[in-house]
């Protein structure tokens, strides 16, 4: 069996990835910047740590040499060390330098633009397959966009919308996710519109997103997703790709106001300080009660198609998806380079794998264009 390594193993998401590796029969190398912190983080959940992990290694991601040493003998590294713009570049570079395949869970569009734009050639030359954004952000949208676009002749546009519902409506995010959101405050995102990259603030663009029933149509606001970077790589003639988050109208207004306000330094610093508080993440029962949905709508001259997926537990899905993508990379040997999830294996096969390993369900439909909206 190939050797997987998990970098960020002491973190909230990294622990879930280690658990998923073990569940799938791997014996991963786990890497953290502090040996005792890794042991303390994993020992609580893993009753038989010595047998379940191959080795604990230490490396700080800011130390290239230590990272390259830590990847010795590793076939594929899964990394959850973020914010990726600040901490992720050295990891991808170390993977390329050591010929190690790479999977991450970034949800940061600027990191994706850098990885696809600046490291694809080096990854190809090194024979490395690198798959960023293999978590909840933005694997479902990438796979569903591929399926929706494949279900209409000559697709020209794909619009991908996400929905997350937590019990009580309060966010169920980890401290690492909040720190990453804080690091992106005030930044514009890029959408692909009519074949051109267009800069937008979160919340500027609005659309009605058609989730399957019982959710139904929802207002959605534009966010800087991964799909505008990734989907054109496997749907080559696509002219427009946008990502959205379903939000009630007033929350979308608030998002737009907030993203305008955080372009102003003092407001950005204040909100950043609030978001950077705390440690850990939602407890398992709260994670399990978090419902998510994703719909991709593709449109062409001959109509539209929608592909959708839904399930529970966005962090659990991230761990399951990262390991499934890692296994697909090792089993399928796709052509090297920086690849979107949909270029690693057929989108329907990957979704079926996720459906076997989680409560994810998915489907593709060609809806009746005359359907009427009944929007909350
Ligand atoms: N795409 C998605 O859907 C998705 C889902 C989950 C998470 N994420 C992303 O994943 C990232 C991590 O989230 P999280 O909740 O797991 O955060 P977390 O609990 O804070 O974990 C961060 C991990 O990174 C390690 N780390 C930090 N700085 C390091 C350095 N200089 N060298 C080596 N390791 C370092 C930490 O090690 P220490 O314990 O030593 O500090 C810890 O293991 C965030 O960027 C988040 O947005 C994305």
Q: For residues 104 and 81, what is the distance between their CA atoms, to the nearest angstrom?
A: 9
pLDDT at res. 5: 98
Q: Rounded mean pLDDT of the chain?
A: 91
Phi, psi at 155, each rounded to 5°: -65, 140
Q: For residues 139 and 143, what is the distance between their CA atoms, to the nearest angstrom?
A: 6
Q: Are residues 144 and 285 in the same domain?
A: yes
Q: Are residues 146 and 186 in the same domain?
A: yes
pLDDT in tens, 229-244: 999 999 999 999 999 9
Domain presence at residue 374: no
Which structure tokens are listed for 369? 């264009």
Q: How far is the CA of 9 from the centre of ligand 1 (A)?
A: 8
Q: Which residues line ligand 1 (CB under 6 A)?
A: 8, 10-14, 32-34, 37, 60-62, 80-84, 87, 105, 107, 135-137, 174-177, 180, 281, 314-315, 318
Strand 303-312 relative to strand 361-365, pairing: antiparallel
CATH of the domain at 196: 3.30.360.10
State whether residue 3 is helix, strand or coil. Answer: coil
Strand 76-79 relative to strand 101-104, pairing: parallel
pLDDT in tens, 133-152: 999 999 999 999 999 999 99
Residue nearest to atom 40 of ligand 1 (CA): 33
pLDDT at res. 376: 45
Q: How far is the CA of 179 from the centre of ligand 1 (A)?
A: 9
Domain presence at residue 268: yes
Tell me if 367 sits within 8 A of 152, measured CB to CB.
Answer: no
Q: Which atom of ligand 1 is nearest to the CA of 59?
A: 33
CATH of the domain at 10: 3.40.50.720
Confidence of residue 370 (pLDDT cuts 50, 70, 90): low
Q: How far is the CA of 275 from the centre of ligand 1 (A)?
A: 15
Q: How far is the CA of 28 from the centre of ligand 1 (A)?
A: 18
Residue nearest to atom 21 of ligand 1 (CA): 11
Please give the model's pTM, rounded to 2 decimal places. 0.94
Domain presence at residue 371: no
Q: Is the pLDDT of residue 374 over 50?
A: no
Q: Are residues 121 and 167 in the same domain?
A: no
Mean pLDDT of 291-312: 95
State whether residue 11 is helix, strand or coil. Answer: coil
Higher pLDDT, 46 or 292: 292
Higher pLDDT, 269 or 31: 31
For the packed helices 109-118 and 89-98, what is the interaxial angle rounded to 10 degrees?
A: 30
Domain that holds residue 233: 139-313+361-365
Q: Are residues 177 and 160 in the same domain?
A: yes
Q: Are residues 106 and 147 in the same domain?
A: no
Q: Are residues 206 and 303 in the same domain?
A: yes
pLDDT above 70 as % of the chain: 98
Residue nearest to atom 26 of ligand 1 (CA): 81
| Cβ-count burial 320-353 (b if 16+ within 10 Å, e if not) | bbbbbbbbbbbeeeeebbbbbbbbbbbbeebbeb
Q: Are residues 189 and 114 in the same domain?
A: no
- Count of domains for the chain: 2
Q: Which atom of ligand 1 is nearest to the CA of 60?
A: 32
Q: Are residues 117 and 36 in the same domain?
A: yes
Residue nearest to atom 46 of ligand 1 (CA): 177
CA atoms within 13 A on the CB side of 281: 23
Domain presence at residue 376: no
Which structure tokens are listed for 46? 């893993």
Q: Where are the beta strands (DSSP E) in the chain?
A: 4-7, 29-32, 55-58, 76-79, 101-104, 129-131, 157-165, 189-193, 196-200, 206-210, 217-223, 240-246, 291-300, 303-312, 337-338, 361-365
Q: Are residues 322 and 305 in the same domain?
A: no
Domain presence at residue 166: yes
Q: Are residues 222 and 344 in the same domain?
A: no
Q: Is the pLDDT of residue 286 over 70?
A: yes
Q: Is the pLDDT of residue 375 over 70?
A: no
Q: Is the pLDDT of residue 369 over 70?
A: no
* Sheet containing strand 101-104, strands side by side: 55-58, 29-32, 4-7, 76-79, 101-104, 129-131, 337-338
Domain presence at residue 210: yes
| Pick from 62-66, 237-241, 265-269, 327-331: least confident | 265-269
Nearest to 206 by CA among 156, 262, 251, 238: 251
Q: Are residues 182 and 111 in the same domain?
A: no
Q: Which atom of ligand 1 is nearest to the CA of 14?
A: 16
Q: Are residues 108 and 167 in the same domain?
A: no
Of 9, 14, 176, the residue with max ligand 1 atoms within 8 A of its CB, to mutate for a pocket test, comes to 176
Mean pLDDT of 358-368: 92
Domain presence at residue 375: no
Confidence of residue 223 (pLDDT cuts 50, 70, 90): very high
pLDDT in tens, 159-185: 999 999 988 777 788 888 888 887 877
pLDDT at res. 146: 98
State whether residue 277 is helix, strand or coil. Answer: coil
């Amino acid at each position: 069996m190939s050797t997987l390594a998990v970098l960020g193993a002491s973190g909230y998401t990294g622990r879930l990835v280690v658990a998923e590796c073990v569940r799938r029969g791997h014996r991963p190398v786990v890497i953290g910047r502090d040996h005792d912190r890794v042991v303390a983080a994993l020992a609580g959940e893993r009753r038989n740590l010595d047998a379940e992990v191959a080795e604990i290694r230490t490396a700080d991601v800011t130390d290239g040499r230590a990272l390259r040493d830590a990847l010795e003998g590793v076939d594929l590294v899964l990394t959850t060390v973020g914010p990726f713009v600040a901490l992720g570049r050295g990891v991808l570079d170390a993977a390329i330098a050591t010929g190690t395949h790479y999977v991450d869970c970034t949800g940061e569009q600027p990191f994706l633009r850098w990885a696809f734009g600046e490291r694809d050639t080096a990854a190809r030359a090194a024979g490395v397959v690198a798959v960023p954004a293999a978590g909840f952000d933005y694997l479902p949208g990438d796979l569903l966009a591929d399926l929706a676009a494949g279900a209409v002749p000559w697709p020209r546009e794909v619009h991908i919308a996400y929905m997350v519902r937590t019990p009580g409506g309060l966010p169920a995010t980890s401290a690492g996710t909040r720190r990453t959101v804080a690091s992106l405050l005030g930044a514009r995102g890029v959408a692909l519109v009519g074949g051109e990259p267009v800069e937008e603030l979160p919340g500027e663009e609005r659309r009605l997103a058609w989730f399957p029933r019982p959710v139904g149509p929802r207002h959605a606001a534009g966010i800087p997703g991964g799909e505008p970077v990734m989907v054109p790589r496997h749907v080559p003639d696509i002219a427009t790709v946008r990502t959205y988050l379903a939000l009630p109208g007033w929350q979308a207004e608030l998002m737009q106001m907030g993203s305008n306000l955080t372009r102003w330094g003092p407001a950005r610093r204040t909100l950043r300080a609030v978001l950077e508080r705390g440690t850990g993440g939602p407890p398992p029962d709260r994670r399990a009660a978090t419902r998510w949905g994703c719909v991709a709508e593709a449109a062409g001259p001959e109509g539209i198609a929608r592909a959708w997926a839904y399930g529970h537990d966005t962090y659990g899905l991230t761990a399951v998806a990262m390991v499934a993508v890692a296994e697909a990379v090792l089993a399928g040997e796709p052509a090297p380079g920086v690849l979107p999830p949909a270029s690693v294996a057929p989108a329907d096969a990957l979704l079926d794998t996720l459906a076997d390993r989680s409560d994810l369900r998915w489907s593709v439909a060609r809806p009746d264009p005359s359907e009427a909206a009944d929007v909350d």
